[in-house]
Amino acid sequence: MTTARDLMSEGAECVQENETLQDAARKMRDLDVGALPICGEDQRLKGMLTDRDIVVRCIADGGDPSSVTAGSLAQGKPVTIGADDSAEEALRTMAQHEIRRLPVIDGHDLVGMVAQADVARSLDPEAVGRVLHEISQE
């Protein structure tokens, strides 16, 4: 059985909840990613932050990204998948929640991320097409 651990990209870097959005944007630029997990001081996942969140939920509203923190944009309980859960469960979770990046946890520790590209590289094209279609529903 293929698991989320088999699909994921390891070494997901967090933006700390007390870091500014400007710091988060720099980290995204340096890592060449469009989203970062938000971690608390306890290193537990608090949410996800996307480049779109920074633009739409801060800058467009007149916020100052040099003073607004990443944690202030975390909303609700983050959607995750267990590292040993099946690839099919990861795909169902991504489709159900219409998310393109899925944090992978082992216990309470963030161990990686499953992104659309990981899915596309690893699974049968029919399954990939179905999931991408479901994720992209408006």
Q: Report the distance separating Cα 99 and Cα 79, nearest Å.
A: 9
Q: How far is CA 102 from the centre of its chain?
A: 5
Q: What is the pLDDT of residues 5-36, one digit of tens each?
A: 999 999 889 999 999 999 999 999 999 999 99
Task: Determine the average pLDDT of the residues in 105-125.
Answer: 84
In the chain the domains, ranked by start, together with CATH numbers, are 4-135 (3.10.580.10)
CA-nearest of 131, 110, 99 to 15 is 110
Task: Determine the average pLDDT of the residues in 34-54.
Answer: 91
